[in-house]
Chains A and B, each alone.
Chain A
Amino acid sequence: MAEIQETMDQAIKATTMKIGKYLTFSLEKEEYGIGILKVKEIIGMMSITSVPRTPDFVKGVINLRGKVIPVMDLRLKFGMGEIPYTERTCIIVVEIDSDSETVLIGIVVDSVSEVLNIQENEIEETPTFGTRLDIDYILGMAKKDGGVKILLNIDKVLSSKEITILEQTTK
């Protein structure tokens, strides 16, 4: 019982302090991180079936071992401009907490880098860029090897409406 409690505490602390392991990937020369527990799987690029009448950043759906998952291009979501996919392009399958359920979504990134263990002293709060800017989707900034990696709160990257749209593409 005490052991469980300890694990829970650790988990809560980890969430609040944002320390722990992150899967890092690159987008347009920048490094981003997603909490490793959010990651379901990393797969190489595979054929995406495009779905009509979806937003631009939604590339379509893939068949992941018999499971149909919606895929979005994070570059397009972040408004970076589309580039042709290379052999380094990967799809990170993440679990997103929607209102009540957990949704699997594939995110197309330029390349996957590594699994990083971020310590407490390496985390900085997100600087406020101005009151109007919505920065909920950024957990914080990780200082590592002289550079800064942006830690994403993947749950907030997509709005609930967008998640619904993505969900609907698979139904």
Chain B
Amino acid sequence: MSWKNMTIGKKIATGFGVIIILLIVLGAISFTGVGGIVNNASEVIDGTSLDGELAQKEVDHLNWIMDVNKLLTDPEVNELHVETDHTQCGFGKWLFGEARKEAETFVPSIASILKDIEEPHRLLHESAIAIKKAYRAADRTLPTFLARKEIEHLAWAEAIQEKLLMNSEKIEIQTDHTLCNFGKWLYGEAAAKTAQSDPVLARLLEEIKEPHKKLHESAKEIITVYRQIHPNLLNVLRARLDDHRQWAAKIAQSLIEGTLVKVETDPKKCEFGIWLESEKIKGLMNQDPALNKALTAVKEPHDALHESAVLINDALNMGNKDLAESIFKNKTEKYLEEVAGIFEQAIDYENSLSNGRAKAISIFKEKTTPLLHETKEKLEAMRHKADELLAGQAKASEIYALQAAPNLEKVQKHLAEARKEVEKNILTDEAMLAAAQSTKRNVAIVAAVAVIAGLLLAFVIARGIINVLQRITIGMGEGANQVASAAAQVSSSSQSLAEGASEQAASIEETSSSMEEMSSMTKKNSENTIQANTLIKEANQIVTRADESMDELTHSMKEISVASEETSKIIKTIDEIAFQTNLLALNAAVEAARAGEAGAGFAVVAEEVRNLAMRSADAAKNTAELIQDIVKKVSDGSEIVTTTNQAFVEVAGSTSKVGEIVEEVSDASNEQSEGIVQVNNAIAEMDKVVQQNAATAEESASAAEEMNAQAEQLKDYVGDLMMMVTGKKDQTMGSGGTQTIKTVSHKPKSSRPAKRMLPHGGHGGKEIRPDRVIPFDDDEDFENF
């Protein structure tokens, strides 16, 4: 059903239906679009939160590793306070909880990444445990500090020793155990802190305090005991004392001999005087007040001693020996004793100095050195301990570098991958916006389509209705015109119909006479067929006789064939006999040859016999060939006989068929005569009908008149309708008028032949054709006959 063929109701319904469908589609698109946007938004929120969560986990682990790192790098932090259970840290809880499943369902592709992350994450946390175990709080600088202090104390002791050996004036070293560098540290806050960090270290620190203190105290002792000595001074003093004793002895000798005393009288020129005046001694004297005092004291008696010698010399010059002797006794000896006493005093002082030094050295050896060793040992023990602690720290650092850092890197890498994967899989804001935009666009497009479709449909339907109405009015106008002209035509055709009826009556008369002639012809035909039938019967008898003779012929042919075969058997026997004879002849020839000369004649006979045998064999062969020929010919003949026989059978068949056909012809002729009688009856009836036709034609002429009047009225109605549809009246009617003539002139042409066909069909019904009644179709059979 096409658009044009639809009823108006259906058209309108279709139009509204389309618009409603479009509205439904629009609504559906809007609904699904908004639903999609809402879904997308929730997806974006989920994705972003998942992404944020992963980022947070990444940051958490960075913080976590920073805590671990702080332990290793910050001396202030000595304990690890991080999560070591990989399932309990923020990410672990997430990873082994429901959130991961949600994330996996949300972004399935991160499942494998999350699986990958589990191992390094676990290792990361395990590394923290390992670090915790391996870590020891240690001061990095402590071992070197302690080593330096050790060296400082060694140097300190060295300094004491050196000063002792160098015979320094004074030993100036640190004797307060709290004020030496180590002491400051030891009794300071740093040591307390170190002691806090490790109990062993604390114990060692306590232990070192005692020997260290003692060490410094020993130094104090040394200092108090130590005295600087004056090397050679003792010897010089003793030598000078001896010199002066000798000097005095010389005087004594001179006195005894009574000679002039020839000794040094100038106190400044004797060796002691020179030594005393020397700068070296002056320096010594300035340094040592005790020595200064002694030497200054010795000056006066020494001067007096030398003066006594001068006095003795004077006395001797005067010859006063007694005086000289008394001077010697009173003065020289007195002053000598005095000088000697002072010298002894100086020597004693020097001896006391030497003793102090020796004591200091012994204290150094007996006290300071072992204490130094002890202190050193303790320091070393501390240093070892510090080193040990440092090794723990180093191990922790190593674990950090080898296990924690790479695993963190892995975890971060995987997390970054996961984030990337999440980003890849979740909708971004732009994508969501794009989806929303596309939804908006789709809705806009569908709405536009709906509006356009509505407009189009309204236009099409309205136009369709108007067009149809227009066409109908025009058509009706035309129809009215046509009816009017048709009515005129009907009246004229009714008149010609009446004329036709009279003509028909005349033709019927003619037909009747033709039928008479046909009847006589049919009778003749019937007679001829009877004659043909008898002739055919005769022919049939002749054919039967020929058939019998053929059978006999075949029989005798067969007999000839049998006889020939028997003859050929005989010939074969003859041939065999000839062969045997030939063999016999050959054997005879052999025998004859064996007999030699005696068999010569026999050989000739044998040859002759053989020749005869050969001849009979030839004859037999010829005869056999002849017989073969006869047999072949006989078989040819029998073939021909068979063919002939077949031909006769066919002839017999044809004749019987001819008989049948002739009989059918006879039957057909009979039917024909019956048919003719019927045709006569029909013609009579036809005559009646023609009479009636003439009367009807008159009636139809009057009816046409009435029709014309009604057509005029119809025209008026159409005019009104036209006015309503188009607002015009004249034009359509005019055009309708012209078309009327054309259509009317066509119609009768097409209808007339149909009317004429009727008499043919009515009378004939089925024309009885002679060739149908009598089957002449088997013409070939006749020819054969």
Cβ-defined contact, B589 with A115, below 8 A? yes
Determine if A96 is an interface residue (Cβ-Cβ < 8 Å): no
Determine if B302 is an interface residue (Cβ-Cβ < 8 Å): no
B618 to chain A, nearest CB (A): 15
Interface residues of A (CB under 8 A from B): 7, 21, 23, 36-37, 39-44, 87-88, 90, 112, 114-115
Q: Mark B540-582, 1 if CB is under 8 A from A, else 0.
A: 0000000000000000000000000000000000001001101
- Kindly list 14 other residue pairs between chains A and B, CB separation below 8 angstroms, not including A7-B596, A44-B580: A21-B593, A23-B586, A23-B589, A36-B590, A36-B593, A37-B593, A43-B583, A87-B576, A90-B583, A112-B582, A114-B586, A115-B586, A115-B589, A115-B607
Determine if B594 is an interface residue (Cβ-Cβ < 8 Å): yes
Of chain A, the residue at the smallest CB distance from B607 is A115
Cβ-defined contact, B579 with A39, below 8 A? no
- Alpha-carbon distance between A32 and B86 when the two chains are bound, in angstroms: 117
Q: Which residues of A contact B583 (CB under 8 A)?
A: 42-44, 90, 112
Q: Which residues of A contact B579 (CB under 8 A)?
A: 44, 87-88
Chief secondary structure at chain B's binding surface = helix
Q: Which chain B residues (575-619) contact chain A, with CB distance < 8 Å?
A: 576, 579-580, 582-583, 586-587, 589-590, 593-594, 596, 603, 607, 610
Of chain B, the residue at the smallest CB distance from A21 is B593
Q: Which of B580, B596, B603, B610 contacts A114 (CB 8 A)?
A: B610
Q: Which residues of A contact B593 (CB under 8 A)?
A: 21, 36-37, 115
Which 5 pairs show the lowest CB-CB distances between chains A and B? A36-B593, A115-B589, A39-B590, A42-B586, A21-B593
Known: A42-B583, A90-B583, A112-B583. A23 touches B610 (CB 8 A): no
Q: Among B579, B586, B596, which residue has the most Cβ atoms of chain A within 10 A?
A: B586
- Alpha-carbon distance between A90 and B590 when the two chains are bound, in angstroms: 15
- Alpha-carbon distance between A115 and B606 when the two chains are bound, in angstroms: 10
- Alpha-carbon distance between A87 and B580 when the two chains are bound, in angstroms: 10
- Alpha-carbon distance between A87 and B594 when the two chains are bound, in angstroms: 27
Known: A87-B579, A88-B579. A41 touches B587 (CB 8 A): yes
Of chain A, the residue at the smallest CB distance from B606 is A115
Q: Mark B290-305, 1 if CB is under 8 A from A, else 0.
A: 0000000000000000
Q: Which of B576, B594, B610 contacts A37 (CB 8 A)?
A: B594
Cβ-defined contact, B586 with A112, below 8 A? yes
Q: Mark B89-128, 1 if CB is under 8 A from A, else 0.
A: 0000000000000000000000000000000000000000
Q: List 5 A-B contacts (CB under 8 A).
A: A7-B596, A23-B586, A42-B583, A44-B579, A115-B603
A93 to chain B, nearest CB (A): 10
Q: Which residues of A contact B607 (CB under 8 A)?
A: 115
Cβ-defined contact, B590 with A23, below 8 A? yes
- Alpha-carbon distance between A33 and B205 when the two chains are bound, in angstroms: 147
Cβ-defined contact, B589 with A36, below 8 A? yes
Of chain A, the residue at the smallest CB distance from B576 is A87
Known: A88-B579, A112-B583. A41 touches B610 (CB 8 A): no
A94 to chain B, nearest CB (A): 10
A166 to chain B, nearest CB (A): 21
Q: Which residues of B contact A90 (CB under 8 A)?
A: 583
Q: Mark B349-382, 1 if CB is under 8 A from A, else 0.
A: 0000000000000000000000000000000000
- Alpha-carbon distance between A43 and B582 when the two chains are bound, in angstroms: 11
- Alpha-carbon distance between A147 and B319 when the two chains are bound, in angstroms: 210
Q: Which residues of A contact B589 (CB under 8 A)?
A: 21, 23, 36, 115
B496 to chain A, nearest CB (A): 106
Q: Which residues of B contact A39 (CB under 8 A)?
A: 590
Of chain B, the residue at the smallest CB distance from A115 is B589
Q: Which residues of A contact B596 (CB under 8 A)?
A: 7
Of chain A, the residue at the smallest CB distance from B572 is A87
A126 to chain B, nearest CB (A): 24
- Alpha-carbon distance between A87 and B607 when the two chains are bound, in angstroms: 22
